[in-house]
Amino acid sequence: MLTAISNNIFELLKLSIPSIFAIILFLLSSKRVSAETRKSKFQERINKLYVPFYQFCITHHLGNKEFNSLNGTLQKEIMDFLLENVYLMSTSCQATFITCYNSYSDYGINSPYSNYDEFAIQLNLDFSDFMATMQTDYMHICKKLKLPKPQNLFLPYL
The reply to whether the predicted model has a pTM over 0.85 is no
Nearest-angstrom CA–CA distance, 45 and 58: 18
Sign of torsion over alpha carbons 136, 137, 140, 141 = negative
Count of C-beta atoms within a 10 Å radius of residue 51:
15
* pLDDT tops 50 at residue 127: yes
The residue that leads in pLDDT, 12 or 95, is 95
* pLDDT tops 90 at residue 99: yes
| Most confident segment among 5-9, 66-70, 93-97, 114-118 | 93-97
25-38: pLDDT as tens digits: 666 666 665 667 78
Sorting pLDDT into bands at 50, 70 and 90, what band is 3? low
Sign of torsion over alpha carbons 128, 133, 135, 136 = positive
Segment 85-90 shows an average pLDDT of 95
Amino acid at 21: F
89-98: pLDDT as tens digits: 999 999 999 9
Nearest-angstrom CA–CA distance, 53 and 58: 9
Closest to 54 (Cα-Cα) out of 138, 126, 143, 144: 138
Quote the pLDDT of residue 15. 67
Nearest-angstrom CA–CA distance, 133 and 89: 10
Quote the pLDDT of residue 47. 94
Q: Name the percent of the chain lying above pLDDT 90.
A: 36
Dihedral Cα 40, 45, 48, 53, nearest 10 deg: -150
Mean per-residue pLDDT over the chain, rounded: 81
Nearest-angstrom CA–CA distance, 59 and 61: 6
46-65: pLDDT as tens digits: 999 999 998 998 898 887 78
